[in-house]
C-alpha cells in the first residue's frame, strides 16, 4: 500500500505496512494536519486511536513513519530529535512503525510549524 505525503510544493511517496496501525491509517485516508516540528521529526494529530503494538520502539530509522499513541499522532522521522544521542533518531517515547518514506527525503526539513500536510492514497 502506498500513500503520497504533500506539504507546500513538496511530495513524498511512502509505503504503508500491513500492520494493525497501517491498516487503520489507510482506512482514515485522506488525512490533513498541521505540522509540529520537533528537531528531525514532523508530527500531527490524526483521527486514529491504536495502542502500542508489541514491536513499538523509540529508536527509529530515517524515513520511518510512526504512530505515537500518546498524542494520536502521525510522525515522520528524518533526522535527530532533541532526545537523540549522536546521530540516532529517537522518538519522545515508543511509536508503532507503520511505514517508510521512499526515495529522497529532501524538503522534509523545509516543512514549518503550522504548515498543512495531506496524506492520500498514491
Structural domain count, the chain: 1
* Percent share of the chain, pLDDT over 70: 100
DSSP state of 71: G
CATH code of the domain covering residue 84: 2.40.100.20
Per-residue cell: 3 = 500513500
Task: Tell if the pTM clears 0.85, that is, is over it.
Answer: yes
Taking only the tens place, the pLDDT of each residue in 5-53 is 999 889 999 999 999 999 999 999 999 999 999 999 999 999 999 999 9
C-alpha cell at 90: 529517537
Q: Would you say residue 106 has pLDDT above 90?
A: no
pLDDT computed for residue 52 by the predictor: 97
Sign of CA dihedral 76, 98, 4, 23: negative
Residue 68 clears pLDDT 90, i.e. is over it: yes
Overall residue count recorded for the chain in this entry: 122
Q: Which domain holds residue 21?
A: 2-121
- The Cα diameter of the chain in Å comes to 37
Report the C-alpha gap between 46 and 26 in whole angstroms.
12
Amino acid at each position: 500500500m502506498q500513500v503520497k505525503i504533500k506539504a507546500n510544493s513538496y511530495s513524498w511517496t511512502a509505503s504503508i505496512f500491513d500492520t494493525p496501525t497501517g491498516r487503520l491509517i489507510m482506512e482514515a485516508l485522506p488525512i490533513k494536519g498541521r505540522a509540529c516540528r520537533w528537531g528531525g521529526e514532523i508530527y500531527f494529530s490524526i483521527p486514529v486511536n491504536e495502542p502500542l503494538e508489541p514491536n513499538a520502539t523509540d529508536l527509529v530509522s530515517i524515513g520511518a513513519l510512526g504512530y505515537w499513541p500518546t498524542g494520536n499522532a502521525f510522525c515522520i522521522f528524518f533526522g535527530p530529535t532533541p532526545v537523540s544521542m549522536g546521530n540516532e533518531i529517537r522518538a519522545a517515547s515508543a511509536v508503532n512503525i507503520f511505514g517508510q518514506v521512499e526515495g529522497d527525503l529532501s524538503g522534509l526539513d523545509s516543512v514549518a510549524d503550522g504548515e498543512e500536510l495531506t496524506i492520500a492514497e498514491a
